[in-house]
Chains A and B, each alone.
Chain A
Amino acid sequence: MDDKQNSIMQSTKESACSRLCCTKIENFGVSFGANTIFANVNMHIHCGELTAIIGKNGAGKSTLLKAILGEVKHSGDLKYLDEKGVHTGHPCIGYVPQYLNFDVGTPTSVLDLFNSCLTLLPSWLCCSKKMRSRVIENLKKVKAEHLVDRRLGALSGGELQRVLLALALDPVPDLLLLDEPVSGIDQNGLELFYDMVSELRRKNDLSIILISHDFDLVCRYADRVILLDGTVICNGTPEEVFNDEKTRGIFKSVFPVASKDKEKSRNGE
């Protein structure tokens, strides 16, 4: 399996980046005690690309994100290379969580959330006029400027997700991690969200890693798909991955559409 994986890696452009910049995940592995969650995970993500990670429950997708964030101890390296191909260290990461486990009664406004992430001036003295206009600017990018004084608990699932996206985009990250919500957002809301993400990606040349459970959306928006199950099983364009035997083997029961139909949905309906 390792050989195959390596050959896939080779085929997807090795070390030197052909484009402007990229993020490399090299030999990532996480184990809790004797239990190995995943090992030997390699990814190469170019700026402006949206890479979707798919896999069964328990395949290690969320743990991988946590390892990239540095929240979970891991082996291997995370490298960010800028335009000249010089190692520029740890990438600036923006993160949109799957859900927030905050108490809905919390008296934290959207402005407080931004202020706490962006400055050291405590939110209980919040906020300077400058910060307020900066936050409103940020929220405009996701069409949510009217939510600036709303309490977090009073936001709908879709609104919260847009606010979190705006938060993740300030400062403009090198790498954006999106953990797709499993519940709480309807199909329209999700499509709106992904249209927004695609547009921002084009504008800012963002690298995006997305964890997704919705294969239709993956087909429509992802440039690359990585199938994770203990390690990288399959890596390529959505067509390549979804037509792969191994993918079909893992997702026997849930596989949605034949590749022809997918082609259609990709070309617009």
Chain B
Amino acid sequence: MLDGWYSLVDFMLPFPWLAHAFMKNAFMAIILVMPLFGILGTMVVNNRMAFFSDSLGHGAFTGIALGTLLGFIKPLAAIILFSIVFAGVITYVKHRSTASNDTIIGVFSSFAIALGLIIMSHSGSFAKYSSYLIGDLLSISQEDILMISGVFLGVLCLWFFIFNRLLIVSINSSLAASRGIDTLTSEMLFSAALAIVVAISIQWVGLLIINSMLVLPAAAARNISNNIKQYHFIAVFIALLSGITGLVMSYYWNTATGATIVLFASALFFLIFALRHRFLS
């Protein structure tokens, strides 16, 4: 299915680290997913939702366990489905309750991780899931790539249509109401998109660090951006740069890819943080 992509890579980028098919798959996945982390991260950071996106990782983890338990043929479908439901429920309860967001997310997050651990440890087979904690690059299959491409297009379309509304809601909910914006719907769509992106990435990024992928590029870009356009483009650039560098270096260092990407993203964050005064007007 991806023969065209393989030969294109062989022709354009004849590097030793891209010789294997699984590296070509991983490269493709990174080119598609890292920009999504970048753009979704802008709103995660703006809304101080880092804890929320962290809990989505936990939700996805439980999705893995449930998917295996219920015998789904494709675990990814189960992960996505469960993550969306999980994110939707949190957003709804958050909207309806006056309790602090942290508390609500904390409750759901612990519930999800406990349920996941119980299912996984039930038959004493926890070890086979441990790859989900740190992620496994070899696990990206051709079907996954196709699915990721679909998600890439879907999230981009969604982002085109709901971004303005999300921005107003994040600035002031009453202002949003005066502009006729339905806060709950926008937030639901946003959290569903987040849930999907987290779900499709967890198998190669790993539960432990998936949140940094969302937070770091945007947090770094924020230091030197004067408007939303710069914010987006810089976040996407940082995400892609650290994604590709991390992939290459993890190949040579023989380390976990997700962790290596996060290492480079953190380094970029500190570099940009140190230089921020030169950029802000």
Main secondary structure of the interface of B (DSSP, over half): helix
Contact A119 B174 (CB under 8 A): no
A86-115 interface bits toward B, Cβ cutoff 8 Å, 1 = contact, 0 = none: 000000011101001111011111011101
Contact B227 A66 (CB under 8 A): no
Q: Chain A interface: which of B110-118, B162-170, B206-214? A: B162-170
Q: Smallest CB–CB gap between B171 and chain A, Å?
A: 5
Query: In the complex, what distance in Å separates the CA atom of A119 from the CA atom of B167?
Result: 12
Residues of A within 8 A of B221 (CB): 107
Main secondary structure of the interface of A (DSSP, over half): mixed
Interface positions of B from 223 to 240, Cβ below 8 Å from A: 225-233
Q: Chain A interface: which of B54-62, B74-82, B175-183, B258-266? A: B175-183
**A99 closest partner in B (C-beta):** B172
Q: Smallest CB–CB gap between B139 and chain A, Å?
A: 32
Query: In the complex, what distance in Å separates the CA atom of A66 from the CA atom of B226?
Result: 31
**A167 closest partner in B (C-beta):** B175
Contact A120 B161 (CB under 8 A): yes
Contact of A126 with B by CB under 8 A: yes
Q: Smallest CB–CB gap between B196 and chain A, Å?
A: 19
Q: Smallest CB–CB gap between A65 and chain B, Å?
A: 7
Q: Smallest CB–CB gap between B246 and chain A, Å?
A: 24
Query: In the complex, what distance in Å separates the CA atom of A168 from the CA atom of B172?
Result: 13
**A122 closest partner in B (C-beta):** B163
Contact of B11 with A by CB under 8 A: no
Query: In the complex, what distance in Å separates the CA atom of A121 from the CA atom of B165?
Result: 11
Q: Smallest CB–CB gap between A168 and chain B, Å?
A: 8
Given A102-B170, A111-B227, A124-B163 contact (CB < 8 Å): yes
Residues of B within 8 A of A126 (CB): 227-229
Option from A109, A115, A177 in Cβ contact (under 8 Å) with B226: A109
Option from A94, A95, A122, A168 in Cβ contact (under 8 Å) with B164: A122
Contact of A151 with B by CB under 8 A: yes
Contact of B39 with A by CB under 8 A: yes
Contact of A257 with B by CB under 8 A: no
Residues of B within 8 A of A191 (CB): none
Q: Smallest CB–CB gap between B164 and chain A, Å?
A: 4
Contact A112 B227 (CB under 8 A): yes
B186-225 interface bits toward A, Cβ cutoff 8 Å, 1 = contact, 0 = none: 0000000000000000000000000000000000011001
Contact B179 A117 (CB under 8 A): yes
Knowing that A106-B46, A121-B164, A123-B228 touch, tell me 15 more A-B residue pairs with CB under 8 angstroms.
Answer: A66-B177, A69-B178, A70-B177, A94-B178, A102-B170, A107-B225, A108-B227, A111-B227, A113-B168, A117-B168, A117-B179, A120-B164, A123-B167, A126-B227, A177-B178
